[in-house]
Chain A
Amino acid sequence: MTVSGPDTTGPELRARLRRSRRRSTLISVGLVAPVVLFLVVFFVVPIVQMLGVSVYDRSVSDGMPRTAAVIGTWDRDGLPGEHVYAAIAEDLIEGQAERALAGPARRLNQELSGYRTVIFGTARGLSEEPPESWRETLIEADERWGDPAHLVVLQRAVNPLTDYFMLYALDMERDIEDAIRLQDSDERLFLGLIQRTLTIAVTVTLVCLAMGYPVAFLLANIGGSLRYALLVLVLLPFWTSLLVRTAAWIVVLQSEGIANTFLMWAGFTHEPIRMIYNRFGTIVVMSQVLLPFMILPLYAVMSGISHWNMRAAQSLGATFSTAFRRVYVPQTLPGVAAGTLLVFMLSVGYYITPALVGGASDQMLSYFIAFYANETVNWGLAAALGTVLMVIVLTMFLIYNWIFGLDRMKLS
C-alpha cells in the first residue's frame, strides 16, 4: 500500500470523499444484507404467506373446477339452473374417482357442518349415466342440494379470495344477501376469546407492575454486594427455562403440593384449595415468568435517577409520600412504560403456560391458533386468528417503537 501525498485541490477531494463515503456505505449494506435476507426469507415471507392463507384458499376451486366455472351465473333467485347441477355432478363423479373431493368437503364443512356428508354421500351414490335431470337426482340423493343456504356457501367458496375466515374470527358472517353481520350473541366465541386474551394479559401486566416496581426501587437504591446478590435472584429465573418454571409451579400449586400442604399444616384450610388448572394458576405462573421483564427495565431507569431529587423535595417540606409521588414516580415513567409494554406484548401471545396450568376457560388466542392448525387442520381460521393476534402485538410494537425507538433497547 502506498501513501500518497496530501492532495488539497478542492473538487477532487470532495469527489474522493464522496467516493469513500459511498464505499463505506456499500460495505455497511453488504454487512447488513445477509441478516435482512435471512430474516426476510425465513421469517417474514413465511409469516406473510401463512397470514395470507386466511384470505386465499383454492381448495374448492381446484377440487370442483366445473362448478367453479358456472355457479357464478346463479342469481340466487330460486334454485340454480340444470347446467350448474350438471357441473356439480360431474365434479363429484370425477372427484370421487380421483379422490379430489377431500379438499372441497373439508372447506365447505368448515362453513356449514354436515357438508361433508352432502359431498361424499352424494358422490358415492352417483352413477355416470346422465339422468333426465341432474337437479332432481342430486336433491333426491341429498335434500340439502335444494337448500339455498348450502348453495350460497358453495357459490362463495369457489372464489379463492375469501373473507369468510377473517369475518369468522371476529364472530361475523355474511347473510344470504351477502351483508356482513355480527353473529347471534349465543353463537359468538372469538370476540370473547380476544377479550379474555386481553384481560389475562392486562392482569398479568398489572400484577407484574405491582410486584416489580417496589422491587426495582429496592434494587436501585441498595448498595454494593447486596444489590448484586438480589439482582441474581431476578436474573436466575430470567435465564431459567419456561418449562422448568412451569413444572416447578405445578409441584408447588397442585392439590397435594407444597402450597396446600403448608396451608393445611398452618390450619388455614382443611381441604386443599384449587390453585392450578384454573385462572388463578395461569395468572400466578405467567406473572412469575414475566416478572423479570418488568423489573429489569424499571431497574435500568431507576438506577439512573439521583436520590438527591427526593432529598431536595423533602428538605423543602414535602412528606416522603408526596416527594415520591410528585418527584420520583414521574421520572420512572419511561421504565414503567417499557416494562408494561414488554410484559403485555409477551403475555398476549402466551401458549405453553396456559396450556399446562390453565383450565378449559383460560386458554388464549395462541392456543386456539395451534388447535385449528394441528387438530382440525382448519388453516384458514388459524391464520385469521393469527392475524388478529398479530394486529394486537404490532400495535403494541409500534407504540413501543414510537416512544422509545428500538435502537435504545437493551438487555440486562
Chain B
Amino acid sequence: MRKAVTTSALAATTALAAGALATPALADLTIASWGGSYQDAQRTLYFEPFAEERGISIIEDDFVGGIGGLRAQVTGGAPNWNIVQVESEELILGCEEGLFVLIDYDMLEYDEDDFIEGAATECGVGNIVWSKVLGYDADRIEGDTPESWADFWDLETWPGQRGLRRGAQYNLEFALMADGVPADEVYDLLRTEEGVDRAFEKLDEIRDDVTWWEAGAQPLQMLASGEVALTSVYNGRLTGSNRAEGTNFAGVWPGSIYAIDSWVILEGTPDVELAHDFISFASHPERQAQLPEYIAYGATHAGADEYISDEDAPHLPTTPENLEVAIEFDTEFWVENIEALNERFDRWAAR
C-alpha cells in the first residue's frame, strides 16, 4: 500500500514536471507585452481581432523589461518571441546590438511621417506614449493644489512626505525644473557638470522628506495609504486607479516627462512580413484611439487624435495641451550616463 502511494506520488510529480517542461505549441506569432490590465486591453484591441482577421494563432507572453533576456533569446538561435513591446532604452540598446529586425516602412501600411515625432525609428514602431507626472490625492489636499515641480519642493504649503523613484533618472530633470530651468533646456544643462551639481543641490532641499519607490504601482499604494503627500507617478496608473478603485488621484502635466514604447521584431523571426502586418494593424489610428478607454496611454499615430473621445483626452500625454508643457525623455542621455549618475545618486543618498 505504502509502495503504491509512493509510486503514484512519483508518477504524479513526473507528470507535473513533464507538463511544465513541455515546449509551448507552435504559433504563427508570439507577442510579448507588459502584462496585466494593459495587455488585457491590447488583447481585445489588437491580438484577437488580428488573429481572427488573418485566421492565425497568436501566443502571448509577459515581458518584464531588460535587454539581457532579449539578448539571450536572439543569440540562442530561434527566439521564443517574435514581437515585443520594449521601452526606449531597450529599443536603442537592442538596435545597436542587432537584436531587432530593421523596420521596412515599405512593408508597413503607414509612412514614417504618419507617426508622431520620435515614434518611427530604424528598429521599432512606437505603440504608446506614457508619461511621468506629479501626482497627488485630491481628497487629502485642502486648498490650493500643486501645479509644478517647484510646488513639489514646497514643503510648507504642502507638508508631508514626497515620493520619487529610487535613482537619478527623472529626479534630476524634476529638480532642475523645480529650480526654474525651462523645460526645453533641462537636458542641455544636465549634459554639463554644473547642471548635474545644481540638480543634486536642489534635491538636497527635500532629501530627508523623500520616500523612494521602485515599482510602478508603489506610488499609488503610498498615495492611498497617506504615506506620501505628493509623488512622481506614471499617468496611466493614476487614471487606472481612479477607475478601478474609485480613488480621486490627480496629475500635474506641466513638467511631465513622456516616453514612447515601441513594437520591435526579434531577429530570427520566421515570418517577418506577418510581423510587419501586425504592427500596421496595431498602428491603425482608429484602433489606437480606443486604447485610452481601457488605460490612459497616448497613441503614436498622428491621426489618432481626432478619434479620441473628449472624456479621455485630458488624461493623455499626447493631448496637445499636455504635450506642449511636457518634455521627452532623453533616452540617449540616460543610456550613456545612467551608471555614473546613479552612482552619484547613491553617494548623495548615503551622505
Q: Direct A–B touching in the complex (beta carbon < 8 Å)?
A: yes
How far is it, in angstroms, between the C-alpha of A114 and the C-alpha of B333 when the chains are bound?
Answer: 9
* B107 interface residue (CB < 8 Å to A): no
B227, A254: Cβ atoms under 8 Å?
yes
Judge if B184 is at the interface, Cβ distance under 8 Å.
no
List residues of chain B with CB within 8 A of the CB of A255: 161, 225-227
Q: Is residue A116 contacting chain B, with contact meaning CB distance below 8 A?
A: yes
Q: Which of B96, B166, B211, B347 interacts with A99 by CB under 8 Å? A: B96
| Interface residues as binary, B209-224 with A (CB distance below 8 Å gives 1, 0 otherwise) | 0111010000000000
B63 CB to closest chain A CB (Å) equals 14
Residue of A at shortest CB range from B228?
Answer: A255
Q: How many residues of B contact A (CB 8 A)?
A: 30
Question: Looking across the interface, which residue of chain A has its beta carbon closest to that of B349?
Answer: A360
- The contact of B339 among A113, A193, A363, by CB within 8 Å, is A113
**Considering residues A109, A360, A368, A377, which has the most beta carbons from chain B within 10 angstroms of its beta carbon?**
A360
Contact B166 A360 (CB under 8 A): yes
The chain A residue with its CB closest to the CB of B210 is A360
Q: Are A117 and B336 in contact (CB under 8 A)?
A: yes
State which size class the interface on A falls in.
35 or more
CB pair A192 B338 closer than 8 Å: no
Q: Does B67 contact A (CB under 8 A)?
A: yes
**Which one of A100, A114, A368 lies within 8 Å of B336 (CB-CB)?**
A114
Residue from the list B212, B226, B347 in contact with A189, Cβ < 8 A = B347
- On whether the beta carbons of B350 and A192 are closer than 8 Å, the reply is yes
Interface mask (A179-197 → B, CB under 8 Å = 1, otherwise 0): 0000000111100110010
B293 within 8 A of A: no
Provide the bound-state CA to CA distance between A255 and B338, in Å. Answer: 32
A322 CB within 8 Å of chain B: no
Q: Is A235 an interface residue (CB 8 A)?
A: no
Whole-angstrom distance between the alpha carbons of A193 and B351 in the complex?
Answer: 11
Partner of A196, one of B210, B225, B336, B350: B350
B346 CB within 8 Å of chain A: yes
For residue B211, which residues in chain A have a CB less than 8 angstroms away from its CB?
277, 359
Report if B12 contacts A (CB, 8 A): no
CB-CB under 8 A from B349, the residues of chain A are: 359-361
Residues 162-184 of chain B: 1 if any A CB is under 8 Å from the residue's CB, otherwise 0?
A: 00001000000000000000000
Q: What residues of chain B lie closer than 8 Å to A193, measured between beta carbons?
A: 346, 350
A376 proximal to B (CB < 8 A): yes
Main secondary structure of the interface of B (DSSP, over half): helix
Q: Judge if A256 is at the interface, Cβ distance under 8 Å.
A: yes
- Chain A residues 133 to 189 lying within 8 A of chain B, measured CB to CB, are 186-189
Complex contacts, A109 vs chain B, CB 8 Å? 336, 339
| Least CB separation from A109: chain B residue | B336
In the assembled complex, which residues on chain B have CB atoms less than 8 Å from the CB atom of A361?
349-350
Residues in B59-104 with C-beta less than 8 Å from chain A: 66-68, 93, 96-98
Closest A residue to B97 using CB positions: A102
Q: How far is the CA of A381 from the CA of B182 in the complex (A)?
A: 36
CB neighbours (8 Å) of B40 from chain A are none
State the CA gap A189–B346 with chains docked (Å). Answer: 7
The answer to whether A102 and B225 touch (CB under 8 A), given A114-B336, A189-B343, is: no
In the complex, what residues of B have CB within 8 A of residue A192's CB?
A: 347, 350
B97 near A99 (CB under 8 angstroms)? yes
Most chain B CB neighbours (cut-off 10 Å) among A98, A196, A277, A368: A277
Residues of B that sit less than 8 Å from A by CB: 66-68, 93, 96-98, 161, 166, 210-212, 214, 225-227, 332, 335-340, 342-343, 345-347, 349-350
Interface residues of A (CB under 8 A from B): 98-103, 105, 109-110, 113-114, 116-117, 120, 186-189, 192-193, 196, 254-256, 274, 277, 355, 359-361, 363, 368, 371, 374-378
A-B contact pairs, 23 of them (CB 8 A): A98-B98, A99-B96, A99-B98, A101-B96, A109-B336, A109-B339, A113-B340, A114-B336, A116-B335, A117-B336, A120-B96, A188-B347, A189-B343, A193-B350, A255-B227, A256-B226, A277-B227, A359-B349, A360-B212, A360-B345, A361-B349, A374-B66, A377-B66
Given contacts A189-B347, A196-B350, 13 further A-B contacts (CB under 8 A): A100-B98, A113-B339, A116-B335, A116-B336, A186-B347, A189-B343, A189-B346, A193-B350, A255-B227, A256-B225, A256-B226, A359-B211, A360-B212
Closest 4 CB pairs of A and B: A99-B98, A360-B349, A102-B97, A102-B96
